[in-house]
A = this chain, B = another copy of it.
Amino acid sequence: MTELRKDPIIDNWVIISTERGRRPLDYKIKIEEKKKDSCVFCEGNEGKTPPEIFTFRKKGTRENSPGWKVRVVTNKYPALKMEEREAALEKAGMFWKMDGLGVHEVIIETPHHHKDFDNLSIGNIVLILKTYRQRYLDLSKDKRIKYILIFKNYGIDGGASLEHPHSQLIGTPIIPQRIKEELKGAKEYFDLNGRCIFCDYIKQEIKSKDRLIKETEKYVAISPFAARFPFEIWILPKYHNACYEEIGDNDILSLARVMKEILSDIKKKLNNPPYNFIIHTAPSKEFFTREWLNLDKKYHWHIEIIPRLTKIAGFEWGTGFYINTTSPEEAARILR
């Protein structure tokens, strides 16, 4: 069963997805797979995953067989699944729910089990970033999908249940709460000032340098002023654009370099912590005029990286109130 449910008190939706059918004791932490022959994402084991949706692969190699460089498949235990209909909103007493229509894909980043962003070639990272772009472009044609979210969980404490380098894509019939709040904040700032809040933010951070980690011709990496987590990092394009999927090939090359440097630095300087990164981009184009006029001028895509260094999250989970024990200025100084 997969269902979206709205909290009756707070304006927030939750995915109830019991595909994996876990019992209470199944929640204990699984030991990560280390052996190559048993890893379903390794080259040669293509038959052990659902069929591929998209790949970059060597010329002359066949679908669902070795020879790929980046490979996209449906998640075997999808949080959301697509069916041949519209998502129906339903009311039960004071509750609202919706069919769990959507997509959940896995982007296998490389055939190599032990390579990751820090030791992959720039060429391979470029292909990963191009794959992200392609999936955004393909899926944004489906009007039932309102938001496409690409993210990576690294390490068991980062939420990765398989060790083989991969990222994930979830396409949802609603806009996730934090993205909605960002869109709202960006819209309000634009309506008041006539400028993109992220563009102003970037200018201020480049000028002050206090929280600046890296600056290249096209990108900046900063630790945000109100960082919720120690060593939280945002990578933002200095040029204005609301949509990740509009990124050009040259910009992808620059981004690949920044991503590799930042993720290598995290590994080196923070002792290989688990981490997550999430691409924050505008909702699908249809949303631009229907719900918010000129969203392309108001929003600014970026990547948020959260190293998972702290366990003090229960209080935070319950209240949305974060205590960060490393100031972003200190984090930037260490990562610079």
Interface residues of A (CB under 8 A from B): 1, 3, 5-20, 22, 24-25, 27-29, 79, 93-95, 149, 151, 153, 156-159, 168, 170, 172, 176-179, 181-182, 185-186, 189, 197-198, 200-201, 204, 208, 224-231, 269-271, 273-276, 278, 304, 306, 308-315, 317-328, 330, 334
Contacts and interface: CB of A to CB of B under 8 A. Distances in A.
B95 A225 contact: yes
* Cβ-closest 3 pairs across A and B: A276-B314, A177-B320, A176-B321
Count of chain copies: 2
B93 A15 contact: no
A314 B181 contact: no
A131 to B, nearest CB: 18
Contact of A319 (B16, B158, B177, B208): B177
Contacts of A17: 323-325
A158 B325 contact: no
A170 B168 CA distance: 37
Of A197, A310, A321, most buried by chain B (CB within 10 Å of CB) is: A321
A8 B227 CA distance: 11
Nearest to A25: B271
B306 A318 contact: yes
B14 A204 contact: no
A311 B160 CA distance: 8
B270 A200 contact: no
A282 to B, nearest CB: 14
A185 B12 CA distance: 11
A153 B312 contact: yes
Of A8, A24, A170, A185, most buried by chain B (CB within 10 Å of CB) is: A24
A171 B224 CA distance: 25
Contacts of A181: 9-12, 320
A328 B323 CA distance: 29
A185 B9 contact: yes
Contact of A226 (B6, B20, B158, B326): B6
